[in-house]
A and B are shown apart, each in its own frame.
Chain A
């Protein structure tokens, strides 16, 4: 018995059209929702109602949309951090740790304090931004230097440094700056809070309860900066050249070791900025678990966005929505399942870019005596 049709998988020799990568990404997100819908139906839920609820909880109203963007904000910055490093084929999976260290350094501005407590808001916030980025950059410098100098594999070193960063924060939260024995520091002074839309609720009624904060602007500006660096600047040219062929880069006179360190620091600084934005814009204190794994989700965000800084914004919003949905829709596992399917579908959709797949009628079997 032979199947009347066979699946023919051929390596693509023709040029893939420019719209295809975007189309497959969008298509696979839709496919993920369809498959999840089937699973929902199998467990007895009505997927249409669930998705309707999802949509309402994430984009359906101004407060919902604001929540989604608040969750997307750190993902944008962390996604950009990963995209920058990946562009040079530096596998920085330490954005989580860099985010934590950025949060810690930003907090020192208030908790040490580095600027007098009665300083104006602009000064405190500027200091926090700078310190947050420095903190992340330091946490990127260490693995970068180890790689440049001793050829230490950055995947291992950045992964390990994540744990160091989290424990480092815990030490200060539990031991030094603990607020009455809780696993958090006292709330920051108001001057260390990033402005939120709800701050203006008295003037504009519609802003009441909307927690969207200035951090999202940081993310958007960061995306523009990353785009400019990668596609317009001399340094970006060097990053692309090293990423594509390090032998050619060395031949062209580039200092690869120096660029490894610099790119890791740039990447770390972006993740550190995300940490600053979280403590100053969302929780207003340094506490345990400021990030539910944003640093790791950032890897996925960068990858799904194909390292394009503007696509990072869109993908981050999708993942922000999934996080919010997981909070609003019970059991929260549903949203995680969809996340898993999205990831699975987008990664496997890459096959469509490299191979063309067709159904063909099987050749008739030749009977031999």
Chain B
């Protein structure tokens, strides 16, 4: 569609936050029927630019045109009326209501009498058209993350969106779901929709994007480049302004004594059904044990049992010989267990506290930050500034509130806090989710440095590539059981893939 008309033109967009120029005279165009990838480092201003297009923010200056006509949005409602819909990274669905009810939520029709079955039919027709299958009568809480995402997409389509904006849609999806999502995007553009796609995963961008725009520190560094003719290395270079290695090097090293010992661990999930059905694991000092598996096979529950956040029904969790199962979280913290949680906003941070208050969350009890009954504000600030520098956290100051950080920078706040706690064991759940390629590399280096210092690391990830690069051994979880453990050096992707589907491997 090289000569297709523009669906959206954004000209000289400036968006300023106190202390931050989030978008600095940004130009961006979207052609009808294309998939346009928006790339850039953490905090480059991607979400902000798209929030302006979807009516959430008003640009300080600049012009937005939709189908050539200048528009001025005062709310997301105005944007959707102009045919622009955004699917946010954090879904906005009501868990106790059905798919159809969620799709109708906030619309003027139906007015009073719901007559849901009729609308279920409408929703089904829409699903048929775009190949987005999900039971319209199912309640949201019964759905997987991938299905919930489909509901969000249906919601925007039902409202008549022609331009769809996806902000890091694949960050929360399992690899198998990602393939399905890419298919969905293709079928959407095949039917005339136009898509803006934000992602840090360059192979996806390579696979679907027609054109790309790259932001760096609020400015455009590549405007509407054709994807054809670019490769991953070039993309990475455009994003971070330097070459990215892509493969961090892990030294061969002999692990030390056992640190984590998990025996016959059994636990239920939030719905009360069994999630762990007798898990045995052990990790030695200086060793990284990767946990592979399709999301929902017990990974979250395993992490929560070790860190004291979940009740264990049976079995034991020992760190350096100390029993931690069914102990309060403080016991794990005092035993030197760090935890990079899966949900960075709900669990990992306090949105209305400052960066400083967020990074001292686990260090405020002891000197030098804790000082008897008081907190030494000077020490706390100094510590936060040090982390901000070392981990390259982009924010005006350490007094910035956590909720104002970009997704990736919030993740860095959590990572920096957990890695610098001098841990014996790090339980890392999706540690590099939402990070740009440069930051992924930096964090992987930090984890490997911990490994060199003799820290045991439990790495739960859905990215096989990451598991294979970082882990010494990889255990595969399927339906609450360990299907097998493979040496990362010799394991093949196929072998692990089979175990993830529940096939037992002969040793």
Contacts and interface: CB of A to CB of B under 8 A. Distances in A.
B373 A248 contact: no
A251 B370 contact: no
A235 B56 CA distance: 37
Contacts of B112: none
Interface in A231-283: 232-235, 237, 240-241, 244-245, 247-255
Nearest to A249: B350
A233 B348 contact: no
Interface in B299-337: 307, 309, 328-330, 332-334
Contact of B309 (A232, A241, A251): A251
Interface residues of A, number: 24
A324 B351 CA distance: 42
B328 A255 contact: yes
B419 to A, nearest CB: 16
A8, A14, A237, A250: residue with the most chain B Cβ atoms closer than 10 Å: A237
A232, A247, A251, A254: residue with the most chain B Cβ atoms closer than 10 Å: A251
B339 interface: yes
Given A13-B56, A233-B373, A241-B357, A250 B329 contact: yes
Nearest to A253: B330
Contacts of B330: 253-255
A10, A232, A234: residue with the most chain B Cβ atoms closer than 10 Å: A234
B2 interface: no
B351 A10 contact: no
B39 to A, nearest CB: 24
A8, A14, A15, A248: residue with the most chain B Cβ atoms closer than 10 Å: A248
A247 B347 contact: yes
A11 B75 contact: yes
B111 interface: no
Interface stretch (B88-96, B190-198, B207-215, B359-367): B359-367
A253 B58 contact: no
Contacts of B357: 237, 240-241
Interface string A1-22: 0000000101101110000000
B115 to A, nearest CB: 31
B374 A233 contact: yes
Contacts of B339: 251
B405 to A, nearest CB: 14
B375 A233 contact: yes
Nearest to A16: B18
Contacts of B333: 252-253
Contacts of B351: 244-245
A251 B353 contact: no
A8 B74 contact: yes
Given A10-B58, A13-B58, A250-B309, A237 B364 contact: yes
B349 interface: yes
Contacts of A10: 58, 74-75
Contacts of B18: 14-15
Interface string A322-355: 0000000000000000000000000000000000
Contacts of A248: 346-350, 361
Interface string B57-77: 110000000000000001100
A154 to B, nearest CB: 22
Contacts of B309: 250-251
A253 B328 contact: yes
Contacts of A241: 350, 353, 357, 361
Contacts of A232: 374-375, 377
Interface string B72-85: 00110000000000
A238 to B, nearest CB: 8
Contacts of A252: 329, 333, 361-362
Nearest to B307: A251
Interface residues of B, number: 36
A247 B346 contact: yes
A191 B491 CA distance: 85
Nearest to A17: B18
B349 A234 contact: no
B369 to A, nearest CB: 9
B381 to A, nearest CB: 14
B362 A253 contact: yes
Interface string B36-53: 000000000000000000
A251 B375 contact: no
Contacts of A245: 346, 349-351
A15 B375 contact: no
Contacts of B350: 240-241, 244-245, 248-249
A156 to B, nearest CB: 24
Contacts of A244: 350-353
A252 B360 CA distance: 10
A247 B347 CA distance: 5
B488 to A, nearest CB: 29
A294 B74 CA distance: 44
Interface in B224-262: none
B341 interface: yes
B113 interface: no
Contacts of A251: 307, 309, 329, 339, 341, 347-348
A240 B334 CA distance: 22
B373 A234 contact: yes
A253 B361 CA distance: 9
A11 B73 CA distance: 12
B374 A15 contact: no
Nearest to A358: B74
A241 to B, nearest CB: 6
A6 to B, nearest CB: 11
A201 B240 CA distance: 78
A254 B352 CA distance: 18
A8 B346 CA distance: 33
A130 B31 CA distance: 74
A8 B334 CA distance: 54
A304 to B, nearest CB: 20
B507 to A, nearest CB: 37
A241 B330 CA distance: 15
A174 B353 CA distance: 51
A83 to B, nearest CB: 16
Nearest to B304: A251
Interface in B263-317: 307, 309
Contacts of A8: 74
Given A247-B346, A248-B348, A253-B333, A234 B362 contact: no
A13 B100 CA distance: 31
Nearest to B362: A252
Interface string A202-239: 00000000000000000000000000000011110100
Contacts of B352: 244
Contacts of B328: 253, 255
A234 B374 contact: yes
Interface of B: 17-18, 56-58, 74-75, 307, 309, 328-330, 332-334, 339, 341, 346-353, 357, 360-362, 364-365, 370, 373-375, 377
26 contacts: A10-B58, A10-B75, A11-B75, A14-B17, A15-B18, A233-B373, A233-B374, A234-B364, A234-B370, A234-B373, A237-B364, A240-B353, A241-B350, A244-B351, A244-B352, A245-B350, A245-B351, A247-B347, A248-B348, A248-B349, A248-B350, A249-B350, A250-B329, A253-B332, A253-B334, A255-B330
Given A10-B74, A245-B346, 4 more contacts: A245-B351, A247-B347, A248-B350, A253-B330
Closest 6 CB pairs of A and B: A253-B330, A244-B350, A252-B361, A245-B350, A15-B18, A13-B57
